[in-house]
Amino acid sequence: MLRALRNQTKSIFFKCFLVLLICGFALWGVGDLTGRVGEKKVLSVDSDYVTVEKVINELNRIRYSLPERPSLQEAIKKGMHQSVLKKFEQEILLNSEAKSLKLSVPMVVKTKAIKGENAFKDPLGRFSQNKFLQSLKNAGLSEAKYLEMINTEANFKQISMPYSLNEIYDDKIIKKLMDWQNETRTLNYEIFEMINENEISKPTDSVLEKFYNANGANYKVPLTRNIKFLEIDPSIFEDQVVINQKQINDKYEIEKSNYLVQEKREILQITTQDQEKATKFIDLIDKGNDFNDLAKKYFDLSENDTNIGLLEKSELPVDSADKIFEANLNEVLGPLKTKFGISIYKIINIAKEKKVKYEDAIKDVEKKLVKELSVEILFEKLDEVEDLIAEGNNLDEISKSELFNKKSVPVKNIKMISKDGVIYSYSTEKKFLNKNKVFLENVWNTDVTELSEIFNSNEDTYNLIEVISENPDELPPFVKVKPNVYNDWLNKELVLKSKEKAEESVLRKNNLSSKVIVERTSKSIGKINDAFLVNKIFDIENKEINYLQSQNYIFAVKVLKTMTKKYTFNRETYNNLHKTFSRSFFNDFSNFYFQNLALKHKLKRDYTEIDKFLNEQEIKN
């Protein structure tokens, strides 16, 4: 039922319905806690206001509508309450602005909104007066309240219209961006190998310590934790799975179709609304003309534009699929009328239907069965792990317990993990934790010396973490991080000495040996495959020789000429860029607009009680 309700949440009616549906949960879980605090005003403008209770109710509504059903404490940690406050702030400001502008919503707009609401339609899709009244009654809504909701949405559309409909303001910007994307640079360049580290004299401790003092910020270590953890996945229990031939045969019958590779066809497609042009195209094809040449001439389409890929029959429109799959290789079909217009097709490749050998299919089925049944065993074992935790067992004891069938699951250790997921070290480079966000959250949500709850980190893999200790933020002394300081110093010296050697070579020859035209989309230059290097080249603003570092090379480059290459205007690219700019403008202007509305209508914010209540919930957790 909840899934069905979630699918309806775009509807005004169902948004309200969800509020009322969750209200019971909100009052049950929060009403006793807030008491009369719930009546305190959080936001107020003139005679309109929002209470603490209203904010908590909305926060609960959002929580219960999410698939993962986060607890109130989890919702607070994720900042969901801040989004709720912002939503109410915008609503109260919009309604106040509508009143000051004396906006009205015509009855025809209200009628259209009501008639368009699916919740008020009969099985034939027609508006039903009885269903309208009954639905409002079931949701505890009056007609007046529902009309007020429609007014709010209509007011928003009227107020936001001047800055939401910005279809032409950014044409010049988009044109400049497209020109920028197609910019090219003509270069003289030469590539030099980095010198070998054996050519660098070993530094004294005083040199390294001086380097350490000059770059101290690089060696600071924030608050970190040391942990150990268990990783429990289905593969651990595969040796406990027992299957018989009947299970394998039954599974094969169910999945038999998965071992049949359907026929696929690679297709060129042209869709147009011009019947005359389509007919002429086919006439010329019949006279022996080339499909791609004609597509370019009559529709300005290259083969990349017309090739829709290797597709199965089910992936094609119903009105043309049969004809396409009955046609021969290289046959041209059309013009055919489809729901998209008039279409012309050419079949350029046919991948015939293939059937996986029975023996291979059976082996695959057996593997799938073992995996599925091992997952079932895993879930049974997780309950036993919970029991072991409740009995006071630590991580090492759990890893060696009988539930793993005398097969010890290794306890893994990670030291010095920061809240950002960076693993620090005094002797090696820092690196990122190769785990997802859920894992990191459990590292920092678990108390020191305690075990976390068992949590799902990736598909059917579950983890249990024990936090060993917490390390305060520090600037380690030079002696402690000397290996890292040496590596950093050495890398800097290698680049510096390599550049000096490259400059000497260029100065002796007085020229750069190679020439090339580079585009922004280029991924390599000569033997260097480095897109980042290309970006750095396009940042050069002088006509001097620049020395850039790339992997194991020094790249000496001089920009000779910058120009925009001729390119075919692509309407789809233009429209996509335009939409991106329009959305960005709308968001930026909206934020600025609401800031001004808050000043204009003297919005009062009092988050004292809501902060107090939310802090209490965090402490309880």
pLDDT digits (tens, 9 = 90+) for 347-380: 999 988 888 888 888 898 999 899 889 988 888 8
Give the alpha-carbon dihedral of 133, 137, 142, 148, to 10 degrees.
-80
Percent of the chain with pLDDT over 70: 85
CATH 3.10.50.40 segments of the chain? 221-235+373-471, 263-352
Distance between CA atoms of residues 65 and 139, nearest Å: 17
Query: Residues with Cβ < 8 Å from 611, sequence gap 6 or more?
Result: none
Global pTM exceeds 0.75:
no
Q: State in words which class domain 263-352 has.
A: alpha beta
CA–CA–CA angle 544, 535, 567 (5° rounding) = 100
Indicate the pLDDT class of residue 170, thresholds 50, 70 and 90.
Answer: low
Q: State in words which class domain 221-235+373-471 has.
A: alpha beta
Q: Are strands 224-232 and 260-261 parallel, antiparallel or unpaired?
A: unpaired
H runs (alpha helix) in 239-394: 245-255, 275-286, 291-299, 303-306, 318-326, 358-390
Query: Is residue 335 reached through a cis peptide bond, with omega within 30 degrees of 0 on the bond before it?
Result: yes
Strands (E), 31-78: 41-45, 48-51
Which of 618, 221, 229 lies closest to 438, judged by CA? 229
Indicate the pLDDT class of residue 220, thresholds 50, 70 and 90.
Answer: very high
Query: Residues with Cβ < 8 Å from 7, sequence gap 6 or more?
Result: none
Distance between CA atoms of residues 27 and 60, nearest Å: 10
Indicate the pLDDT class of residue 143, thresholds 50, 70 and 90.
Answer: confident
**Hey, is 72 helix, strand or coil?**
helix
Give tens-digit pLDDT for 275-318. 888 999 999 999 999 999 999 888 888 888 888 888 888 888 78
The confidence score (pLDDT) of residue 1 equals: 28
**Hey, is 63 helix, strand or coil?**
helix
What is the distance of C-alpha 357 from the center of its chain? 39
| Amino acid letter, 148 | E
The confidence score (pLDDT) of residue 199 equals: 92
